Chains A and B, each alone.
Chain A
Amino acid sequence: MTEKKLKVLAASSGGGHWEQLMAMRGAFEGCDIVFATTIPGLLAKYDIRDGLVLPDCSRDSITMSIRCFFSAFAIVIKQRPDVVISTGAAPGLFCLLAGKLTGKRTIWIDSVANVEKLSLSGKLAGRIATLWLTQWQHLSRPDGPHYAGAVL
């Protein structure tokens, strides 16, 4: 009998967050991986066939945020991942929150663009994530976020 593969949902916004997620995709080798991002064309750019599209949102729009949250929740319920991982920003945080509420392991890797302090999403992720990482050694703290390397 073959062991069931670990199912991982990796979600991020388009742009820099996505490029960072792609730079660490080697970590998902051997997993049953599902990617989700906010710009559909980015999936094709990396030859990802069964990727999912998340609605974008920002802290400026409450309607979009609510839509994004429900969409993230629907994805987590449907995909039933064992682990939810994100490099940000708000749409990824919503996926983590949905993962947390449904009892999944959750990993947050704060964007390498946050050099001086964590992003707002990154700070909030600290309350949700089972593994909470920063990509800058000088931002790491004993109680998290921790530092384990960086894509840049």
Chain B
Amino acid sequence: MILVTVGTQLPFDRLVKAVDTFAKDLTRPVLAQIGKGSYTPQNMKWIKNIEPADFDSVFRDATVIVSHAGIGTVLTAKRFGKPIILVPRQASLGEHRNDHQLATVGQLAGRPGIYVAHSDEDLKNYLLDDLDSPSREDPSEVGRASLVNYLKGYLATV
């Protein structure tokens, strides 16, 4: 299953509409979490929000995640070992207060299991591909261990 998720805070109709437009051409079924969006998908299953209690099972069932460039979803995809395709929100299209999601994808592009779609065509091509998942030897684990150890060390001195 392809899981599309836009988060709970802001609508992201551009992304939902793009996937809905070519959902019929995809080989896998799609579930879209549309949040506060007003566009109603015609060609794929959709829900407004995923209840926190259902979240894990929905993520486990997904083979690939399509998402706005929200850190929460990136970390969740990593936790479940799923490839994630990011579509950054753009301030010029009224999709966020500022363009920090563009900056985020600028830094994350090319990391294992993370793909950045800059156009609808990019997105469709990624969804027709078999994308690699983040590997167990994800280099970002080093940074995380470093932060955790640093905090541990700091707390030990208090």
Q: Which residue of A lies closest to B52 (CB)?
A: A41
Report if B119 contacts A (CB, 8 A): no
| Contact of B103 with A27 in the complex, beta carbons under 8 Å | no
A18 to chain B, nearest CB (A): 7
Stretch of A70-78, A95-103, A143-151 on the interface side: A143-151
Q: Which residue of A lies closest to B55 (CB)?
A: A45
Q: Specify which of A27, A41, A111 is in contact with B152 (CB 8 Å cutoff).
A: A27
Report if B91 contacts A (CB, 8 A): no
* A contact residues around B70 at 8 Å (CB): 15-16, 113
Known: A24-B144, A45-B55, A115-B107. A152 touches B75 (CB 8 A): yes
Q: Which residue of A lies closest to B101 (CB)?
A: A113
Looking at B8, B79, B148, which has the most chain A CB atoms within 10 Å of its CB? B148
Q: Which residue of B lies closest to A137 (CB)?
A: B143
| Contact of A15 with B144 in the complex, beta carbons under 8 Å | no
| Contact of A19 with B155 in the complex, beta carbons under 8 Å | no
* B contact residues around A22 at 8 Å (CB): 75
| Contact of B107 with A44 in the complex, beta carbons under 8 Å | no
| Contact of B75 with A19 in the complex, beta carbons under 8 Å | yes
| Contact of A20 with B71 in the complex, beta carbons under 8 Å | yes
Distance in angstroms between the alpha carbons of A107 and B147 in the assembled complex:
13
Q: Specify which of B53, B78, B108, B142 is in contact with A45 (CB 8 Å cutoff).
A: B53
For chain B, the count of residues having a C-beta within 8 Å of the partner chain is: 38
| Contact of B100 with A150 in the complex, beta carbons under 8 Å | no
| Contact of B56 with A19 in the complex, beta carbons under 8 Å | no
Looking at B71, B106, B108, B144, which has the most chain A CB atoms within 10 Å of its CB? B71
| Contact of A148 with B103 in the complex, beta carbons under 8 Å | no
Report if B90 contacts A (CB, 8 A): no
Known: A16-B75, A83-B158, A114-B100. A27 touches B107 (CB 8 A): no
Distance in angstroms between the alpha carbons of A23 and B148 in the assembled complex:
9
B89 to chain A, nearest CB (A): 12
| Contact sample, A vs B, 24 pairs, CB 8 Å cutoff | A6-B155, A15-B9, A15-B70, A16-B72, A19-B72, A19-B76, A24-B144, A24-B151, A26-B148, A27-B149, A41-B52, A44-B52, A82-B158, A109-B147, A113-B104, A148-B146, A148-B147, A148-B150, A149-B150, A150-B140, A151-B140, A151-B143, A152-B74, A152-B78
Top 6 A-B residue pairs of the complex, sorted by shortest distance between their CB atoms: A149-B147, A41-B52, A149-B146, A16-B72, A27-B151, A16-B71
- Interface residues of chain A, those whose CB is within 8 Å of chain B, are 6, 8, 14-20, 22-24, 26-29, 31, 39, 41-42, 44-45, 82-83, 85, 105, 107, 109, 111-116, 131, 133, 135-136, 148-152
Given contacts A26-B152, A27-B148, A150-B140, list 5 more A-B pairs with CB under 8 A. Answer: A6-B155, A19-B76, A82-B158, A83-B158, A136-B107
